[in-house]
Structure formats: C-alpha cells, structure tokens
Structure 1
Amino acid sequence: MRAAVIDRTGGPDVLRIADVPVPEPAAGEVLIRVACAGVNPADWKCREGYLSHFMHYSFPFVIGFDVSGIVEAVGSGVRGFAPGERVFAQTDAGAGKWGSYAEYVPVSQDSVVPIPDSLGFAEAAAVPTPALAAWTGLFDEGGLKPGQSVLVHGGAGAVGTFAVQLANAAGAAVAATCSAARRDELMALGCRLTIDYRGGDIAAAMQAWAPGGTDLVLDAVGCGTLPNGMALLRPGGILVAILTLVIGDNGPDAAEAARRGVRTALAFSRMPSGTRLREIASLLGTGRLRPPRIECLPLEDAGRALDLVQSGKAATKLVLQIAEPGNL
C-alpha cells in the first residue's frame, strides 16, 4: 500500500511516500481502508520527534492521527463493526502504532465510530483530534456547565471552532478571539462576542462583557499569545491550555494562578477516544455541530500540507484524500 512514512524523526526531508505492507488487524482492532486523513499540528510534531516522550517510534513509521474510511476487516474479539461500514477515528499513532497517512490503518475498536449520514469522508476526517481537544479542554478539564461563560482564544482555528460550538451547545455564553475577517463566521457558530486579537483590547472587551470575570478561558493557541489570561477569570475560574508540545511553551504558570486565586490545567485527548467521539458524532448528526472549512490534497502532497500547517499558512482545515469515494 502507499503511505507517507518517516525512517527517522526530523524536518520535512524525512517524510517520503513509500510502498509498505498492508497491516493485519490484531485482536481488538478494526482495519480501516482509508478514504481521508486529517492533517493536524500533532502530525508535524510527530514527524519531528516532539512526541518521543509519550510514544515509541518503530521505523518506518506512518504518521497521521485522524482517519475516515470503511471497515476492511476486523481482528478477533471485535463486535459491532462490519466490512463496508463507514467509520472515522482518532488513530493509535500516539501509542506508537501506524497512523492514517496510508491506504489502510488498524485502529483499536474502542476508538472507531460510525460516520453520521450527514457527513462525507473528507468532513469526517477533519473532526477527531480538534473536536476531542476542544471537548477535553471545555468539559473534562474545564468542567464547563450550562449558564457559565467562556473565552476561546483562537476561536477561528479547528480546535477553536469546535470549542465555540460545543460550549454554545452546552448552554454556555461564548466569547472568542479571532481576526476581523472571521468575526461573522464565529458569530454564526454561537459566539456572543468576538475580539480582534490583532488590534483589539482583549482585557477591556472581556471586562465589559463579563465584569466579574469569566468562568473559563480555553487557550487553543498557546506560546504566550494570550497575555494576562488569568486576569480575565473570576475568582476560582480556570484557564485551560491545549497542550502544544512546542519547545518553550510550558503552559500556564501554576504559581501565578495560586496567587490570583484561579486554577490552571493542560488539555490533551486521551485514548481510547471512541466514547467522546460518539457524543461528538451525535451532535454532528443532528446539525448542532459543524466541521470546519476544509481543503483536500492528495497523499503525495502530505509534505506540503504539513509545511502549511507548521507555518500557520493553512487558511482552512487540510485533509489528505487517500482514496476517491467511488473507489472504496
């Protein structure tokens, strides 16, 4: 099968398109014939070795955290999945197993979820990692409840757009930072306030919107791009940062939080992820949640896709088209 593989960690030059054996599903695994693979910041960080503290690479290694496709086969002990069924998942790449930049990928059955009828393969592949990160930050770490307020920093990114929608669906009041060009889009997704991060006064806007401080700040950007984020919180509020793994980005300062009487947390999605993804799929199926804008590229452009994401020049959510839908 064709796959985008690395033989060592490093920069763009270590990624190559190769022919590798089709993997067999182990016990408890579903073998997915890949239609599309979502492209995430975690993918280039995986290529460069940022995840070596969390996983063991076995080279050649296929990268890719998000997948959509059809069930090709199942391993022993798997129940509830049949060949030909449309599914999507967060792969086991974070556990050191092959990822989704390939024509086939085996995934733990506990991470595999049927695709809602309303979604195509490309849209489904754009969902798992960013939506799960948003869910983890808002609810698992942030404890967001109906009637509370939240500021999503980086509201126009993939994680941010899911966070805005999930918080709105949960009955929270949502503010978000974004560029002026994305304001109308985020307001349509449920924001009550948008703040231009390039020229707006975030502190003043939040003070006017939530005079006593907001309950939750979800930092979906990191790297110090939200100055004085803790000052935006009410006493006892929480700042949750999405784990970036970028060198030098150590997340919020717990000591400062203690001095201010607020809390902090780091968010990263945990495997297996199927339980949360099923809840997300339900929201997608009812139309209460929409995937981000996407652009499809062929597998051969995997390197360019990673470069666009790493440089911040991707204007939309990028998805690799591994197989044409009519060929599945």
Structure 2
Amino acid sequence: MRAVVLDRVGGPEVMKIASVQRPEAGPGEILIKVAYAGVNPADWKCREGYLKSFINYAFPFVIGFDLSGTVVDIGPDVVGFEKGMRVFAQSDVGAGKWGAYAEFVTVSQASVVRMPENLSFAQAAAVPTPALAAWTGIFDDGELQPGQRVLIHGGAGAVGAFAIQFARHVGAHVAVTCGDYNFDYVTALGSDCNIDYRTQDIPAAVYEWSPAGVDLILDTVGCATLPAGLDMLRPGGTLVSILTLMQGDTGPDREEAARRGLRTRLAFSKMPSGQQLGQIANLLAGGQVHPPRIESLPIDEVARAHSMVQNGKHRAKLVLQISDDLT
C-alpha cells in the first residue's frame, strides 16, 4: 500500500510517499481502507518529535490521528462491525502504531464509530481530534452547564467551531475571540459575542458582554496568547487550556488560580475515543452539530498541508484525500 512514511523526526521534508506492507487486523482490531485523513496540529508536532514523551517511535513510522473510510476486514473478538461499513475514527498512532496517512490502517474497535450518513468522507475525517478536544474541554474538564457563559479563545478553528456548537447545544451563552474576517462564520455557529483579538481589548470586551465575568474559558490557542485569562472568570470559574505540547507552554497558572478560588485544567482528548466520538456522531447525524469548513488536498501534497497548518496559513480544516476509490 501507499503511505506517508517517516524514517526520522523533523520538518516536512522527512515525509516520503512509499510502498509498505499492508497491515492485517489482529484481535480486537478493524482494518480500514482510508478515504481521507484529517490534518491536525498534533500531526506536525508528532512529525517533529514533540510527542516523544507519549509515543514510542519505531521507524519507519506512519503518522496521522484522524481518518474516515470503509471496513475491509475485522479481527477476532470484534463485534458490531461488518465489511463495507463506512466509519471514522482516531487512529492508534498515540499508542505507537501506524496512523492514518496510509491507504489501509488497523484501529482498535474501541476507537471506531459508524459514520453519520449525512457526512461525506472528507467531512468525517475532519471531526475526531478537534471534536474530542472540544468535548473534553467543554464537558469533561469545563463542566459547562445550561445558562452559563463561556469564552472560547480561538473560536474559528476546528476545535473552537465544535466548542461553540457544544456550548450552544447545552444552552450556554458564548463569546468568541477570532479575526473579524471570521465573525460571520462563528456567528452562524452560535456565538453571541465576537471579539477581534487583534484590535480589541479582550478583557474589556468580555466584561462589556458579561459584567460579572464568565463561568468558563476554553483556550484553544495556548502559548500565553490570552491575556489576563484568570481576571475574566467569575468566582469559582474555570480556565481550560487545550494541550499544545509546545515547549514552554505549561498552561494556566494553577497556583494563582487556586489562590483566587478558581479552577484550571489542561485538556487533551483521551484514547480510546469511541464512546465520546459516538455521542458526537449522534449530534452530527441529528443536525445539532455540523463539521467545520474543510479544504481537501491530495496525499501527494502532504508537506504543503503540514506547512499550512504549522504556519497558520489556512482558514478551513485541512484533510488529505488518501484513496481515489471512495466506494
């Protein structure tokens, strides 16, 4: 099969298209023919070696966290899946196994979910990691309740887009930071208050919208890009920062938060992910939540895709078309 193969960690140039042995489904695993693979910030960080503390790289290595495709084989002990089923999943790359940038991949059945029928393969591949990160930040760590107020820093990205929709789904009120060129987009997703992080004083804008502060801040950007985050919280409020894995980004100041009676959390999506992804799939199938805007590139342009994500030169969520045969 064709795959994007790394023989070392490094820049986009270390990724090579190569022919490698097709995997076989082992016990509890599903072999999937990959239609599309999502491109996440975690992918280029994996490529550059930022995940060495979490992943045992064994070269040659295939990266890629998110995928959509069809089931072509099932291993022993697999139940609830059949050949030809359209599915999407987080790959097992976090466990050190080959990831989604390949024509075929084996994934633990605990991470695989049937695709909603109203999604295309390209849309489905854009869902798992950003949606799971948003779900963890909003619900698991943020514990957002109906009627509460949340500020989502970086609301126009894929994580932010899902976070806005999840918050509105439970009846919360939402403020968002993003560039003004994204105001129409985040308003359509459900934002009540849009703040241009480039030209506006974020705390002042938040307090104009919510004079008592907000119950939850979800920081999807990190790296100290949100000034005075703790200052914008109500007493007892929570600041959740999505794990960026960037050197020096340790997340919120926990000691200062505790001194003020506030909560902080450093969020990341947990594996296996099928249970949460199944809940998200139900919301997508019912039309309560929609996938982010996407842009598709062929697998041969994987280096360009990584450069775009790494440099922030994109507005849409990028996905790679792995297979030409999407039946």
What band does the TM-score fall into relative to the shorter chain?
A: over 0.9
Rounded Cα–Cα distance in structure 2 between residues aligned with 1:157 and 1:248: 22
- Normalised to the residue count of structure 1, the TM-score between the two structures is 0.98
Is 1:215 aligned to 2:215, yes or no?
yes
1:36 paired with 2:36, answer yes
1:217-251 deviation digits (Å, cap 9, x = unpaired): 00000011101011010011000000000111111
Residue 249 in 1 paired to residue 236 in 2? no
Q: CA deviation at 1:131?
A: 0.3
Residue 125 of structure 2 corresponds to 125
Q: Aligned pair 1:175/2:175, yes or no?
A: yes
Shift of 1:21: 0.4
Scaled by the length of structure 2, the TM-score of the pair is: 0.99
Matched, 1:233 2:233: yes
1:305 matched to 2:305? The reply is yes
Residue equivalent to 1:286: 286
Where do 1:95-106 residues align within 5 Å?
95-106=95-106
Q: Which residue of 2 aligns with 1:142?
A: 142
Q: Tell me how far apart the structure 1 counterparts of residues 185 and 12 of structure 2 sit (CA, whole Å).
A: 33
Unaligned runs of 5+ in 2: none
Distance in 1 (alpha carbons) for counterparts of 2:60 and 2:146:
47
Query: What is the alpha-carbon distance in structure 2 between the residues aligned to residue 288 and residue 86 of structure 1?
Result: 21
Identity of matched residues, %? 62
CA drift of 1:156 comes to 0.2
| Inter-partner Cα distance in structure 1 for 2:104 and 2:180 | 41
Separation in 2, partners of 1:101, 1:152: 30
Shift of 1:278: 0.5
- SS for the counterpart of 1:62 is coil
Alignment of 1:1-328 (within 5 A): 1-326=1-326, 328=327
DSSP-derived class of the 1:61 partner: coil
> Which runs of no fewer than 5 residues in structure 1 stay unpaired?
none
Tell me the SS of whatever aligns to 2:200: coil
Distance 1:318 1:284 in 2: 19
SS class of match (2:72): strand
Give the drift of 1:100.
0.3
Code of the aligned partner of 1:251:
G
- 1:325: how far off? 4.5
What's the offset of the Cα at 1:324? 2.5
**Partner-residue secondary structure (3-state), 2:4:** strand
CA shift at 1:315, angstroms?
2.2
C-alpha deviation, 1:259, in angstroms = 2.3
Q: RMSD of the TM alignment (CA)?
A: 0.8
Question: In structure 1, what is the Cα distance between the partners aligned to 2:170 and 2:280?
Answer: 12
Indicate the SS of the match to 2:315: coil
Count of residue pairs brought into register by the alignment = 327
Residue 290 of structure 2 aligns with an amino acid whose one-letter code is R
For residues 319 and 226 of structure 2, the distance between their equivalents in structure 1, rounded to whole angstroms, comes to: 28
Question: Matched residue of 1:137: which SS?
Answer: helix
Query: How far apart, in 1, do the equivalents of 2:325 and 2:313 lie?
Result: 28
Q: Distance in 2 between matches of 1:230 and 1:2?
A: 48
- Aligned-partner SS, 2:118: coil
1:79 partner letter: V
Pair 1:325–1:173, CA change in 2 (3 A): farther
Deviations 1:166-200 (A, max 9, x none): 11001111111011111111111111111011101
How far off its partner does 1:209 sit? 1.4
Asked if the contact 2:157/2:315 (under 8 Å) is kept, the reply is no
CA distance in structure 2 between the partners assigned to 1:73 and 1:27 by the alignment: 11
Counterpart secondary structure, 1:33: strand
- In the TM superposition, residue 323 of structure 1 has moved relative to its aligned partner by 1.0
Q: What is the CA–CA distance in structure 2 between the aligned matches of 1:171 and 1:106, rounded to whole Å? A: 38
2:152–2:218 Cα contact (<8 Å) kept: yes
Q: Is the 8 A contact 2:165 2:289 kept in 1?
A: yes
SS of residue matched to 1:17: strand
